Amino acid sequence: MVMARRKEPRTTRRFIQGDFTRPAEEVQAGTPGVLHRLAKRDDDRLGFARWVADTNNPLLARVAVNRMWQHLFGQGIVQTDNDFGSQGIPPTHPQLLDWLAVEFMENGWSQKELHRLLVTSATYRQASSRRGDVDRIDPANKWLARQARFRLDAELVRDVALAASGMLSARMGGPGVFPPQPEGCMDLGQHRKTWKASTGENRYRRAAYTYRWRNTPHPALKVFDAPDGLAACTRRIRSNTPLQALTLLNDPAFIELSMGLANRLLTEAATAEERIRLGFQLCLNREPDAEEVRLLTGLVAQQTKEFAAQASSAKAIVVHAETLGQATRPVTGDAAFSAWTMAARVMLNLDETITRE
């Protein structure tokens, strides 16, 4: 690490075949000749940073724009987002990539402005419904005749459940927080770590604020393909495993959010059908059809009957909810609260809940 700059720069030489015992001619700081020039007065790290962010750099703006496009559309205009060279895949829309790069630079390198431009475009606002005529011509949807449909990133899976339950904290910034997780998960690495679940508002912060060790990410995030901190990751691989459904059903954090959602449904709607409709609006952003209403109404009736017959089971759920705090404290009887908690678990576990249409 450089603590202070030398008055006179150190001599740097080329090594023959990379062998430091065989120094050759002296070399000076510089950049590839095929690219724009590095100013002579800018031959330090700050100067190199200015050179990278120069508007004459053909790569920086295009790479940045392509990654934002990839985040919103599932794949970039250049599919090999980490390789813009001759070995990478050429852009599907080169003129669009160039135009977006110029817009990005001319708007002060504002990511917020570029995101606003992309999400308000007609291309982004398309439906993701598949079309047989288009699928035959463009099965990979490279030409964007429809919107892409893919599972949410790991952090957003938790955030969606937090928002649906009404327990999401909108506070920004601050140190990392410790949401609940299954016991023993921190014992799996080389060194055991202490994980004491946060309380109060910190318990319901966005997943971006979840504390992470470099090689031991939060297990619920790891299950949904969040990368570790050992290497840079420009594109996440989306898997589909039974562990994901088991996490949404049984993870302590999601059980707690199911209780919060159950309370919200019981408080904000009067009848079973109205509660199901509200749950669909909160989780799926749409109205349920008649069959979905029938199935969930039957589930709630069945669960209510079973919990009424097994009062100890219902009481155990209620006691657990009361120990978690005000946000999950039951607003109704034991059997009804427990039954709607089960229904909330189903809604939060639907594929459609964690899928971006």
| C-alpha pair distances (Å), 238 with each of 32, 250, 270 | 36, 21, 39
Mean pLDDT per 10-residue segment, the chain (357 residues): 74 92 90 82 78 89 95 92 88 95 94 96 91 85 89 93 93 91 73 83 92 83 88 86 92 91 93 95 94 95 91 86 79 88 94 91
Give the C-alpha separation, 73 to 312, whole Å. 49
pLDDT at res. 41:
66
Question: 23 has which bridge partners?
Answer: 15
Cα–Cα–Cα angle for 304, 307, 309, nearest 5°?
110
Sign of the dihedral through C-alpha 279, 280, 285, 287: negative
pLDDT at res. 262:
93
Which pair of tokens denotes residue 145? 């005749």
pLDDT at res. 2:
64
DSSP string, 185-218: GGGSSSS--------GGGGGS-GGGB--BTTB--
Are 314 and 307 within 8 A, CB to CB? yes
Give the C-alpha separation, 51 to 32, whole Å. 11
